[in-house]
Amino acid sequence: MTHQLYIVDVFAEQPYSGNQLAVIVGEDALSSETMQQLAAEMNFSETTFVTSEPGADGAYSVRVFTPAREIAFTGHPILGTAWVIRRYVAPESYDVIRLELAVGQVPVAFETSADGREVAWFIAPPMSLGATTSSEAVAAALGILPEDIDTKAPIQVVSAGTSAMIVPLCSLDALQRSKLDLERFAPLAAQGFPPLVYLFCQQTRNSRNNLSARFFFDAHGVREDPATGNGAAFLGAYLLEHQILPEAEISLRIEQGHEVRRPSLVMLQASVQQGIPQVRVGGYVIPTVQGELI
């Protein structure tokens, strides 16, 4: 059976920005080996594979691959895949698409923003905050100084199927100077810390935005993500836990991707409802390519 290919830019305000995503839709399931080969061929941060028909519960089964491995939870593939389903696979669908991922079912809602544009939002699955570490070790791995790291809150691992280290920085300058060095990260890896590092600071290029971020990860060497939805979700849980921002209900615009020439905008909402953290991550989706596998 033919498998359709769609490429979309997620967390993009205009074409050829944001985070690229390849979405492959088909009635017949491909083998895990073929999926991994196709993800390596695409060479985007992630490629998703989705069934063209939902299951009995109405959710669409989705698998997510980086060029190196399959992963359980990541942000922009959730939004981009749901957008493709709503636009091309099931255009008669309602304003919520449900995806069945390795971490469980994730709903994606579509809302109209104040400027009339459609925003896709996912509700993050339950997240857990884990181990912390010293500024000195992380600074060495990032090629910055220990004093570049903001000590008002810890460097900490946050997890939901996958894990990342959240690193608060003092300035945009420190953010721009950062670069993950896997050799210098090795002592942290030996302690069980993941080579996925989400950096943020409260200085921005654009005055409309609230935070700046970068995300480094290991996929056959260090790569940088133009926009990171799961990292933003992890950040939401982290901000609620450590009360870095005074607002009880957090609503943020996060800029990312400038260092890799793909400016991105990630929207984050977070609050505690009846004692339980609730985190939503949203963004615009723009299509760029449509075709089929041959």
Q: For residue 217, what is the domain's CATH number? A: 3.10.310.10
> Two tokens at 150?
């903001």
Tell me what the mean pLDDT of segment 248-268 comes to. Answer: 96
Task: Decide if pLDDT at 80 tops 60.
Answer: yes
Measured in degrees and rounded to the nearest 5, phi and psi for residue 83 equal -65, -45
Judge whether residue 49 has pLDDT over 60.
yes
For 179-233, how does the pLDDT look when each residue is reduced to its tens digit (9 = 90+)?
Answer: 999 999 999 999 999 999 999 999 999 999 999 999 999 877 888 999 999 999 9
**What's the mean pLDDT in 64-75?**
89
d(CA 209, CA 206): 6
Question: Based on the domain organization, do 221 and 164 belong to the same domain?
Answer: yes
Dump strand ranges (E) for the chain.
4-10, 19-26, 47-51, 60-65, 70-71, 96-101, 104-112, 118-123, 128-133, 155-160, 162-168, 196-201, 211-218, 222-225, 250-256, 264-273, 276-283, 285-292
- Residues 69, 200 within the same domain: no
Give the ranges where 134-258 is alpha helix by DSSP (H).
135-142, 172-177, 182-190, 229-242
pLDDT tens figures, 112-142: 887 889 999 999 989 999 999 999 999 999 9
Domain shared by 140 and 240, yes or no: yes
Q: Which structural domain, as residue segments, surrounds residue 86?
A: 4-123+284-292
What pLDDT sits at residue 292? Answer: 94
* pLDDT, mean of residues 61-70: 93
Give the whole-angstrom CA distance, residue 78 versus residue 70. Answer: 14
Same domain, 152 and 116: no
Confidence of residue 1 (pLDDT cuts 50, 70, 90): low
Distance CA 25, CA 9 (A): 17
Q: How many domains does the chain have?
A: 2
Q: Does pLDDT of 259 surpass 90?
A: yes
Q: Residue 140's pLDDT is what?
A: 97
pLDDT per residue over 137-194, tens digit each? 999 999 999 999 999 999 999 998 889 999 999 999 999 999 999 999 999 999 999 9
Active site (annotated) includes residue 247 = no
Judge contact between 174 and 139, C-beta under 8 A: no
Marked catalytic residue, from 46, 100, 224, 255: 46
Model confidence at 95, in pLDDT bands (50, 70, 90)? confident
Same domain, 141 and 203: yes
Other CB atoms closer than 10 Å to residue 87's CB: what's the count? 15
Instruction: Let me know whether 276 and 213 are in one domain.
Output: yes
What are the phi and psi torsion angles at 111 (to 5°)?
-130, 160
Closest CA to 213 of 221, 205, 201, 223: 201
Residue 2 has pLDDT above 90, yes or no: no
Do 149 and 90 share a structural domain?
A: no
Give the model's confidence band at 75: pLDDT under 50 very low, under 70 low, under 90 confident, else very high.
Answer: confident
Q: What is the pLDDT of residues 4-39, one digit of tens each?
A: 999 999 999 999 999 999 999 998 889 999 999 999
Q: Facing residues of 118 across strands?
A: 112
Report CA 49 to chain centroid distance, whole Å.
Answer: 17
Between 220 and 240, where is the model more confident? Answer: 240
Q: Which residue pairs from 258-263 have beta carbons closer than 8 angstroms and sit at least 24 positions apart in sequence?
A: 258/205, 259/176, 259/214, 259/224, 260/224, 260/226, 262/16, 262/17, 262/18, 262/19, 262/20, 262/226, 262/227, 263/13, 263/17, 263/18
Amino acid, res. 211: L
Residues 91 and 181 in one domain: no
Q: pTM of the full predicted structure?
A: 0.92
Length of the chain: 294
Whole-number pLDDT of residue 73: 79
Judgement on whether residues 115 and 196 belong to the same structural domain of the protein: no
**Residues 105 and 134 placed together within one structural domain of the fold:** no
Higher pLDDT, 240 or 104: 240
- Residues 158 and 84 reside in one and the same domain: no
